[in-house]
Amino acid sequence: MGAGFGILLLAAAILIVVGDDVTYWLRRIWRFQSPRQPWIEDLRRGRLWRRLRRKDHYDTDLATLRDFVLTLQLATSLEDTLAGALRRASEYMENRGVFGERLRTQVRSRLTISPEAVIQGLAEDFDSDELREVMERLDLARDSGLSYAEALAVSVEDIENAIRRKTEQDIQRAPLILTIPMVAGVFFAALILALYPLVARLLVNLST
């Protein structure tokens, strides 16, 4: 009875932890994809499909992406062009690890094509939904007559909200993550104690 209850509690804790992430990403996919395409097209062009297609990509954190977009937003708000803002960002973030290296590489290789090509290249390098959304907002700003600074400010706010949500989720999941090893430890200890008399009796029978 006690062992069965421990297994159920462990399984419930794992489902809660995994289910929270699944629900979060499903909400993001529904929010950004469903208004634009039919559901079949949405599946074909969704984030999961892009991740399956692209096997190799670099890793970075949301704070670095926020600083990059914030640098672009501040530069464009000072009447700098998007190309000039990207040059400033590549100089400012040259020491920010792999992101700074890829940003410098993309600026050198793609800025002559267009500023948007640089951001698109970064989105592909890091398989970043946030940078793809930056691209979408820049396209909308160009078509609607809004300034790039306004579009980038919205992206900065969205990334900061994503950082806040992730922090809140980590805090909420912390007790559950700690509970799993505790439950597992208690369960296996109880299982060993329950089996010990049987094993001891079996050894005695075998020895006699």
Q: What is the pLDDT of residue 99?
A: 95
How many of the other CB atoms lie within 10 Å of CB of 201? 10
Q: What is the pLDDT of residues 128-145, one digit of tens each?
A: 999 999 999 999 988 888
Q: Residues 156-204: pLDDT tens digits?
A: 999 999 999 988 887 877 666 666 666 666 666 666 767 767 767 777 7
Residue 11, pLDDT score = 53
What pLDDT sits at residue 167? 87
Locate tokens 């499903």: which residue? 26
Report the pLDDT value the prediction gives residue 62, as an integer from 0 to 100.
92
Asked whether residue 14 carries a pLDDT value surpassing 70, the answer given is: no
**Each residue's pLDDT tens digit, 29-88:** 555 555 455 544 555 445 545 555 554 688 899 999 999 999 999 999 988 899 999 999
Residue 112 has pLDDT above 70, yes or no: yes
pLDDT at 8 over 70: no
What mean pLDDT comes out for the span 14-36? 53
CA atoms within 13 A on the CB side of 186: 13
Looking up tokens 């800025």 gives: 111
Question: Whole-model pTM?
Answer: 0.61
